Amino acid sequence: MTNGRSIIKRDGQLVPHDRNRIANAIFKAAASIGGFGFEEAERLSIVVEQRTVESYAGQVPTVEDLQDIVESVLMENGHVSTARAYIIYRHKRAEMRDVQRGAVEATDNIPYKRIYEVLRWNIEHGCESIAGINRIIEEGEYPGLVSACEERFANECRAAGHRVLEHGEDVRLIIVAGPSSSGKTTTTIKMEEELSAHGKKFKAINVDNYFFDLEMHPRDEFGDYDYETPQALDIDLINQHLEQLLAGKAVKTPHYDFHTGKRTLNVHEMQLANNEILLMDCLHGLYSDMTRSVPDNHKFRLYIETLGQLHNERDEFMRWADHRLLRRMIRDSWSRNHDPLDTLTHWHYVRKSELQNIIPFIGNVDFLVNSAMPYEFPVLKAKLFHFFPEAMELYQSDLKRQDAVLRARRIRQFLEPLRTDVDERCIPSNALFREFIGGSEYVY
């Protein structure tokens, strides 16, 4: 029976939430290990539904959120084996069937072939698993892994630049889009370096300066601002300036101060020369309204995502969104004066916005870059691991913070066996990872 509530699927669609689907999934997971019957599965599905309402009052949960709650409810009710079987049922069984057909599981509208290429590269370099990275560290080969990852990424940026050249002189605006902390800014810089070698000149428009004052954004029950939505940006002014810039006119863009949450208008003077292409590094660059004033044939859309294929001993893969959360927890702490735990509790806004305003538009991109670097995780763990037990203890009794608790528990369990005895000085100053941990030669 559909209860009238909704969830956000991985492709961004808003669909009715059906309790029977949850009960059936729980029952099949239990049956696969000779567990309980449908009556218990139905009881647990009601508990899941109640927990979802309590945890996401006034919000729309994603399918990932819902599955996390199912796992948590199963474990709390003493069905640990069924919880494990449920995860296998929901994720691994589908993946295994796809592999048998010559494909691998794709998520968030990313093509199967692209995910398979990433997994194959990881296997070839021995970094497809936590155990593999631990072996690389133990054998003193961590600097070599860093070099290999950076070379792969640089080659992808060069390929993106060549694809722009293939599009010819019609390209007036290059949109570098992708979810939060995917590495859009560094990718933009590296692609610009490549294209500059071919006589192309670029000028970047900083979309972050178009945020409305923070006090204009809606707050939730915690007093938290939702600035992940495209509507947090002055889209009308962005389009006005895009149209003027591509017409050769001068504009004065705003300036936004993240420490104060205030915007000042008419600060940065900007104008395109005849031989310059406009660059837009934007979280919501694929959102149609963001560039509605520019004809499609004048746009080149580049998409960035952490397409990591790293698994643990239980064959669970690190979620791309969890990887980016780790990056953002570090960066926000020094660049935006945010406590890492604030970033963690805010993350449900990020993921909701990605699924609604980014993922549905991936099919329109001209080139896709993988920004995941397997060498990041030992450094990420060393800097952030202690926050996750703290978050679990701090929010464990707060039903409305269960999203943060579930993410903290999942990341803690995944990273726990990973070694951290690496020297991050071998990470070059022009590495994408420096965008998040600091020490970059680039000016952001």
Could you tell me the CA-to-CA distances from 35 to 25, 70, 81, 93 in Å, in that order? 13, 16, 9, 18
Give pLDDT, residue 102: 39
First to last CA, the chain: 51
Q: Are 86 and 29 in contact (CB under 8 A)?
A: yes
Task: Spell out the residues 6+ positions from residue 272 whose beta carbon is closer than 8 angstroms to its own.
Answer: 203, 245, 246, 248, 278
CB 387: neighbour CB atoms within 10 A? 21
Give pLDDT, residue 105: 40
Give pLDDT, residue 122: 94
| C-alpha–C-alpha distance, residues 171 and 300, integer Å | 6
Count of alpha carbons within 13 angstroms of residue 399, beta-carbon side:
10
pLDDT by residue for the chain (444 residues), tens only, comes to 344 477 776 555 677 878 888 888 898 888 888 888 889 999 999 999 888 888 776 677 877 788 888 988 998 898 988 887 887 666 555 454 444 433 344 456 787 788 889 988 999 999 999 999 999 999 999 999 999 999 999 999 999 999 999 988 899 999 999 999 999 989 988 988 888 888 888 898 999 999 999 888 766 666 767 667 888 899 999 999 999 999 999 999 999 998 898 999 999 999 998 888 999 988 889 888 999 999 999 999 999 999 999 999 888 889 999 999 999 999 999 887 889 999 999 898 888 888 888 888 888 899 999 999 999 999 999 999 999 999 999 998 888 888 899 999 999 999 999 999 999 999 999 999 999 999 999 987
Give pLDDT, residue 91: 56
CATH architecture type of domain 142-304? 3-Layer(aba) Sandwich (3.40)
Give pLDDT, residue 90: 60
Task: Spell out the residues 6+ positions from residue 391 whose beta carbon is closer than 8 angstroms to its own.
Answer: 341, 344, 345, 404, 405, 408
Radius of gyration of the chain (CA): 22
Give pLDDT, residue 1: 36
| Domain boundaries of the chain, sorted by first residue | 1-101, 142-304
Give pLDDT, residue 4: 47
pTM for this one? 0.76
Bridging pattern class, strands 201-205 and 299-305? unpaired
